[in-house]
Amino acid sequence: MNESYDVVVIGGGAAGLSAAVALARSCRSVLVVDAGEPRNSPAGHVHNFLTRDGTPPGDLFAAGRAEVVRYGGQVEAGKVTALSRDGELFLAEVNGRGVTARRLLVATGLRDELPDVPGLAERWGTDVLHCPYCHGWEVRDERVGILATGPAAVHQALLFRQLTPHVTVLRHTAAPFAAEQAEQFSVLGIPVIDGLVVQVETSAGRLAGARLADGTTVALDALVVTPKCVANADLLAPLGLVTVEMSVQGQVLATRIAAQPSGATSVPGIYVAGNVTDPQAQVITSAGAGLMTGAAINMDLVAEDARRAVTQARARKNVEAADRH
């Protein structure tokens, strides 16, 4: 092993970079390994990030990398391909070489598994959406369809109805809605259309509508979907950490690595932050979580350093006492 750090951060998104800044400002040696595959790369802008609303994701992350470097941290493009443990240290394979760390922070985010409808994936992050807080303002007063694949569609329909009176639920593969839900839709003027959606149609570079199996087309300006959010956590399995499922009324919406609010996992020395543990976290939420986890890691190391200093001081005293005798 030719490199050793206090902390290796795997993932260069909002959570990982924020944690790295906190650690570097605490005079910790830190390496961020960034694969350059952020979840929000298809989106043009970040929203609901105070003072940074409308910033392109790439610009935000570039500024974050510069901050890490300014405080003495290191940022490296590439991937961690393997993790293991050797006594008190973690071993990471980074771009083909070995690196050691006293602590690991995994902020590798998640990937969105989209409904299998032709034409849908190509519009993801522009006018195929999932979050009213990320993209809702941009489609206010427009014709918004809800592609229902489970019970979460009800929640989405009500949230987007706050932003536009032109909401249509496409029942697609979802079960029939309960009487209470159907009544809410009726009162709020949200029509429900039965039938499978077989094609997302575009015109002039924009989403134009959803075509049903019977050949009819529902004209739309945006389509809301419920992706399955899958944590990027395969690296952690050899160290004893596997994902758990998050479900709503029997529909699996996400997988995550379970952790304490500090980001500490069940494996001592391994921390997680951002979407890999909190699938609902937006960019600003992930940044805040990264800061708190970075502080928790630093406190963990401070306590360990203090214990080691006491142990070494006691050992010296014992040696000196033995020499006097």
For strands 192-193 and 167-170, give the pairing. Answer: parallel
Distance CA(185)–CA(173), nearest Å, equals 18
Q: Residue 38 carries which side chain, given as an amino acid letter?
A: P
Note the pTM of the prediction, 2 decimals: 0.93
What is the set of domains in the chain, with CATH numbers?
Answer: 4-112+228-315 (3.50.50.60), 115-224 (3.50.50.60)
pLDDT at 320: 82
pLDDT at 243: 97
**Residue count of the chain:** 325
Distance CA(81)–CA(275), nearest Å, equals 20
Per-residue pLDDT 10s for the chain (325 aa) are: 469 999 999 999 999 999 999 999 999 999 999 999 888 888 889 999 999 999 999 999 999 999 999 999 999 999 999 999 989 999 999 999 999 999 999 999 999 999 999 999 999 999 999 999 999 999 999 999 999 999 999 999 999 999 999 999 999 999 999 999 999 999 999 999 999 999 999 999 999 999 999 999 999 999 999 999 999 999 999 999 999 999 988 889 999 999 999 999 999 999 999 999 999 999 999 999 999 999 999 999 999 999 999 999 999 888 888 888 7
The vertex-135 CA angle with 134 and 136, nearest 5°, equals 110
Listing DSSP states for 140-195 in one string gives: TTS-EEEE-SSTHHHHHHHHHHTT-S-EEEE-TTSPPPPHHHHHHHHHHT--EE-S
3-state secondary structure of 288: helix
117: nearest Cα among 208, 204, 210, 193: 210
